[in-house]
Structures are given as structure tokens and as C-alpha cells.
Amino acid sequence: MTFWGSLVYDLFPLIWSGMITGCLYALGALGLVMIFKCSRVVNFSHGNVAGLTAFLVYGLSSGVLMSLSWGAAVLLAMLAAVAIAFLIYSIISPVVFESDLTSTIATLGFGLIAQGVTLLVFGADIVALDLPIPRFAMSVLGLLVTGYDLTVLVVAIVTIGALFIVIDYTKLGIAFRAISENPFAAEVCGLNLKSVHYFAWITAAILGVIGALLIVPTTFLSVTTVATFMLQAFAAAVIGGFASLPGALFGGILVGVMMNLFTFYVSPEYSSTFLLGVILVALNIFPNGILQKVGGARV
Amino acid sequence: MSNHATHITPDQSVFTRLSGVATPGATAGIVLTALIVMPFMLGGSWTFTLGLCFANSIGVLAVSLLVRYGGEVSIGHTFFTALGAYSVGVLDTRYGISLWASVPLSLLLGVCFGILFAWPSRNLHGIYLAVTTLALALAVPEMINNFDSLTGGYEGLYVATPLIPGVSMGMQRYYVALVMLVIVCFAVARLRLSRQGMALLLAKTHPAAADAFGTRRVWARISIMGISGGIGALCGATLAFSGSTVSPGGFTFWQAIFLLVGSVVSFYGLSLPRVLLGGAFVTLVPQLLSASGAWIPVFYGLALLGMILLGHYMPRIRKAMSRNSEVS
């Protein structure tokens, strides 16, 4: 009883909460993959920009900058994220078509600037940023399900569902897929590469903000919180193959569950080292992403 | 270029004339002579800072080498510098062994771990190595703090065993760093002329041709990461000796990115003056801006972007200007 009892008692809640955070890693990873798929750039500024916008929500709603309602603050922060993504892509777009390595390095520059601006405006203090959600908890089949869990689940399903509908059924989504598949042919057919790239960068920024806002209540908000959260997103993207959106979703949930089990059963102090190991192993076993092996080549 | 050297028109500035006369070798020679006499003219604190500049220059060189020969970017070279620094620090404080033994050890460790981390992404697009090194950079401080019985945790280690007993430690810290930098620069210059170096460059620019000549791309990618990791470890070893302390604060994620920024600022140069520029940038900017810490990342980010955009637009501007001068 003791071993199996504790296993069931610990294991299911751990997997459940891992899946919840995994959905958030997936949101981050989807943004990274969208940008990589069409513009071949790895956006290393993703975490820092999302962190900056999370701080903006805090600043606008708590009275540090303004004291707006939470909804208005989120709306303004979203607009800021869109503007920042637009600006970043506008500045590096001439480099993007020349060398994906150089443009990847350039995104690190934006990451540094976003980090510095966060430090300059909000300082290095740790702040708490909560979501205005009903606090309740209920027990479902022995699992403790909180209002936060349900909020995350609903938001993630709605966002990811909307994203997949846009990519699968709208003209913009078809253009996105065409450009990811073969940019030259897509351009010959009359598609504007830049406008589709803008779509990917802006969508990724919005996904990043949503992910950042939802992850913050579980810990706290500091300059590094969201940037380290994005390492999980990177690991998720690598597990998914970095060029597959369903892979990123699957990888995110997998990373969430594995991280939770690792921190509980082994040690919370080696979480980055564990992720490094996960990335190395994943690259060795599934070089093209975990879903590639199961489903064969995607056409 | 040959036009510049042969026809020096009166309207050209003194600077372009000088740069036309000076060969890269001569420039490196002049810089080196100046650096050798420097400690006799400067105070102790400047000598110390210059030693750190040399050490960081080696790190910048390691990152640039990876970009130049491998076409790949690393944002986790602090792993290798930490490896080198802690092998020097641990051997020194625990066993009293000086650099004679710890430098070869750190080189060996650096090469081995470079190969180890390049191995999983050997067949993949270059970005996978970048993401691996991102995880590497974030894992380094964690590893250092958790192995505190060996590494001394937050407090760090103090390196005090001289390389040559009897010579003043301040002078040793300066000249050891300078000699290391010169050796590494010389070795890299020789690599460019060697058969292996040519093969690596061919594998980067024309993988199919390299395959046809018997250089496999996988081999090239793994070996360049090995070389770069080894040089990174030498940078760490030099940092430990010249900086006299080894602590986790020197191997943060930001330090890894700063090394890359230094490499970009020196336009991925591999010559002695260029890497010195990168190393000086990495060392001096945080010191100059130490009063306003939050401006450091902003400044680094702007410098990074500025250099990248300059590298992108400069050839175009130059072309437009030469077209204009032809017309007039």
C-alpha cells in the first residue's frame, strides 16, 4: 500500500499539474516554431520580450506606471507586444533574407535590450502578478483541480485551437504553410514573404504574452522568470523538431510532465541541467522531432 | 583592394593610406610590442585589467572561430570557460598544482566536451547547436553552485600558485595572459594555412565539394566545436590565473552572450588586433558602466545590432559611394 499508494497519490497530481504548465510551455514553443518555420530565425528575444510585456501588465495595473483595470492593462500590453514584434522584424528583415545565422544573433541583441529596459523601468525586484480568476478548488477522481488549472486549460485550448484553425483553413494560414514549405516557389506564385513573416512574428509575440501572463501566478515575476520559462519552451520546440507545430504542442506537454516529475522525485536544483540532458537526448533519438517517427514524413 | 594600394589619390585620408601600407602581420607586431612594454608604463590596476582583456580576447576568439569555420553560433561558451577556470582553480587550491599541469588538462577537457555537445546535433541545421548551448549556458551556474564541495560555491576559489616561482605575481598574471593570447592567435593563423583548416572552410562553404574530396561535413562540424571548446577552456584557465579568483558570477548566462557580442563587435575577426578589440569591449564596458548596471545590457544589445546592421549596409553604402565617384 505505502509504495503504490504514494505513487498514485503523488503521481497523478504531478502529471496533471505538469500537463497544465506544459500547455504554457507549448504556447511559448509554438511562437518559436512559427517564427522558425517561415523565416528560419530562432528568436532568442522571445522570452525577454514576453517578460517585458508581463512587467508592463504589472506596471499598468498596479499603479507603478498607471492604475488601469486588469483587462485594459492586458490590452495595452498586447498592443505593446505587437508593436515590439513589428519593430524587431522591421529592423532585422533585410538581414533575414541574407543570413539566418546573423539574424538569429540579432535577436539576441533585442533580447538584451528588452532585458535592460525591464531593469531600467521596473528594477530588479521580485513582484507578484496574479490573475483575476475565481479561487476555487474541487476534487475530481482524487485530483485537486483549481480555478487556475481550468483557466490555463481553457485559454490554452482556445488559443491553440484558434491558431490551428487559422493555419489550416484561412488564406493567411495557407500562405504561411506555403512559405514554410518553399519560400522561393511561394514568392514566384505572388505571395509577399514579408507580410507573412510579420504575421508569424506578431502571432508569436501574442502567444508569448499569453504564456507569460499565465505562468507568472505559479511563481512570481522577476527579470529572469520569463526568460527561464522560455528555456522550457526551447526544449519543447526541440523535442517537437523545431519545425512542427503539433510537435511543439506535444513537446510542451511532455516537457511539463517530465520537469514536474524530475523536480519532485530527483532534485529541483538541477532543472536546467536536466533540460540540457533532455535536449541532448532528444536530438540524438529524434533528430527530426518526436512526431516524425510516429507519423512518417509530413507532406 | 589592389586599386587602393597602387593609386593613392591626394583626397584619400591619412588613415586609408596607412591601412594600405600596413600588412596584417605588421599591425599585429606593432600592437604586440606596445603590449609587451605596457606594464612598465601603467599602474597595477590597469595591468590587471589588461590581463583580463587578454583572457576575454581568447574567449571572443573561440566564439569567432566557431562562426567563421563552422558557420554556427554558440551562446554557451561560459561552459567551456568555466571548465577551464575551475580546472585551474581546483587543481591550484586543492592540490597546489600550477598552470603547467592544469592548462593542458583544461584544454583536453574543453575539446572533449566540445565534441560531446556537438555530437547530438551533428546532422542537423546549425540552430540546434545554438539551442543546445543556450541550455548549456543556463545550466552552468546551477552546476557550479551544486558542486560546491569542489567549486567552493558562491565564494569561489582563489588562485595564488605562481607559474614561475620568484617572479612578482602581478607581472606573471599579465604576461601569462599575453603569451596565451599570442599562442592561440598564432595557432589559429596557422590553422587557416593548414590542410585541415582549408578542409574545414570547404566543408562550411561547399559541403558537397568537401564530401567529394573526402572531408565529411559531420567530421568538420564536430571538430570545429572541439577546437572552439578547447580554446574556450584556455580562455577560462587564463581568466582564473589573471583574474586570481574563480567564482560563479563570472560564468552567468549573460557573460556567455557578452562573449558573443564581443565576437560580433570585432566582426568575427581572428587576428590579434581584432580579438583584442572584442576582448577589451567585453572587459571594459561593464567596468565603465558599473555605476549604472541596467544600461549594460541595453548598451550591449545596441552595439550588437549596430554592428550587424553596419555589416549589412556597409558594403552597399561603399558600392553606392564608389559608383558616385565614378560618375563624377
Best of A122, A283, A286 to disrupt the B interface by mutation (most B CBs within 10 Å)?
A: A283
| Nearest neighbour of B135 by CB, restricted to A105, A112, A272 | A272
Global pTM value: 0.86
CB B130 to CB A42 under 8 A?
yes
Strand A143-146, strand A137-140: pairing: antiparallel
Lowest mean per-residue pLDDT among A17-31, B3-17, B169-183, B295-309: B3-17
Question: HEC profile for B83-96?
Answer: HHHHHHHHHHHHHC
Q: CB contact, 8 Å: A166 with chain B?
A: no
CATH number at residue A135: 1.10.3470
Contacts of A225 (CB under 8 A, 6+ apart): A51, A215, A216, A219
- The ipTM assigned to this model is 0.84
Please report the residues numbered 171 through 210 in chain A whose beta carbons come closer than 8 angstroms to any beta carbon of chain B: none
CB B304 to CB A105 under 8 A?
yes
| Tens-place pLDDT, residues A143-162 | 778 888 888 899 999 999 99
What is the residue-wise DSSP string for B29-79? HHHHHHHHHGGGTS-HHHHHHHHHHHHHHHHHHHHHHIIIII----S-THH
| Tens-place pLDDT, residues B207-227 | 888 888 888 888 888 999 999
Position A226 pLDDT exceeds 60: yes
| Nearest neighbour of B294 by CB, restricted to A44, A120, A242 | A120
Q: CB contact, 8 Å: B294 with chain A?
A: yes
Give the CA distances from residue B56 to residues B98, B112, B175, B273, B321, in Å, rounded to whole numbers and listed in that order.
21, 21, 14, 13, 36
User: How far does A101 lie from chain B, in Å, by closest CA?
Assistant: 7
| Tens-place pLDDT, residues A62-87 | 877 777 788 888 999 999 999 999 99
Residue B180 pLDDT: 92
Number of domains in chain A: 1
**A139: containing domain:** 2-295
Angle between helices B217-243 and B44-65 (to 10 degrees): 170
